[in-house]
């Protein structure tokens, strides 16, 4: 008798490689964002797409606050169309980052999602900034 895990066979390796390889076009993780920022290699704009109150309580240092519902072209006009945006929200339990990424993509902007969000950032042992910092 097959378990719930194996009752649906795994994809063939070539299909799995395509699937997992393509995921990196859409997402990055907290460790890679931290390393790029700490190493002076930040070639992206980091957006915290939560509301201002949550942003003020704690956010990734260097992130700009632009709630996903307020992502419109007028707010992005200072950035060239080739600017890569990396979005995050509270964490895996929140779909705000996906909403923000979708809005950016619909505006023709390059975008990646920082998987894990604030929860992942803290889990990695990285510090958050507050509005008073």
Instruction: Note the pLDDT tens digit of each residue in 10-34.
Output: 999 999 999 999 999 999 999 999 9
| Whether the predicted pLDDT of 133 surpasses 70 | no
Burial of 10 by CB count in 10 Å (0-12 exposed, 13-18 middle, 19+ buried)?
exposed
- Tell me which H or E stretch contains 57: helix 52-57
Judge whether 9 lies within some domain: no
Q: Give the pLDDT band of residue 59 (cuts 50, 70, 90).
A: very high
Mean pLDDT of 32-55: 97
**Number of compact structural domains in the chain:** 1
Give the model confidence (pLDDT) of 84-97 as tens digits. Answer: 999 999 999 999 99
Question: Residue 66 contacts by C-beta under 8 Å, 6 or more apart in sequence?
Answer: 47, 48, 49, 75, 100
Separation between Cα atoms, residue 89 and residue 51, nearest integer Å = 9
Average per-residue pLDDT for the chain: 96
Q: Which of 96, 50, 104 is nearest to 72 (CA)?
A: 104
Judge whether 37 lies within some domain: yes
> Which residue range is the domain that position 87 belongs to?
26-123
| Whether the predicted pLDDT of 132 surpasses 70 | no
Judge whether 16 lies within some domain: no
Judge whether 15 lies within some domain: no
CATH of the domain at 37: 3.40.250.10
Give the model's pLDDT for residue 131. 74
Judge whether 3 lies within some domain: no
Q: Give the pLDDT band of residue 1 (cuts 50, 70, 90).
A: confident
Judge whether 64 lies within some domain: yes
39 is written with which tokens?
């190493």
Q: Which of 51, 41, 37, 39 is nearest to 94 (CA)?
A: 51
Mean pLDDT of 68-92: 97
Judge whether 119 lies within some domain: yes
């Amino acid at each position: 008798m097959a378990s719930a895990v194996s009752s649906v066979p795994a994809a063939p390796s070539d299909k799995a490689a395509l699937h997992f390889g393509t995921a990196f076009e859409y997402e990055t993780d907290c460790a890679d964002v931290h390393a790029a920022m700490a190493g002076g290699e930040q070639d992206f704009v980091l957006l915290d797409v939560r509301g201002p109150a949550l942003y003020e309580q704690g956010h990734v240092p260097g992130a700009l606050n632009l709630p996903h519902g307020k992502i419109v072209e007028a707010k992005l006009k200072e950035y060239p169309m080739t600017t890569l945006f990396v979005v995050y929200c509270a964490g895996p339990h929140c779909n705000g980052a996906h909403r923000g990424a979708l809005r950016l993509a619909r505006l023709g902007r390059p975008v990646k999602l920082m998987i894990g969000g604030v929860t992942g950032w803290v889990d990695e042992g990285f510090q958050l900034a507050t509005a008073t910092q």
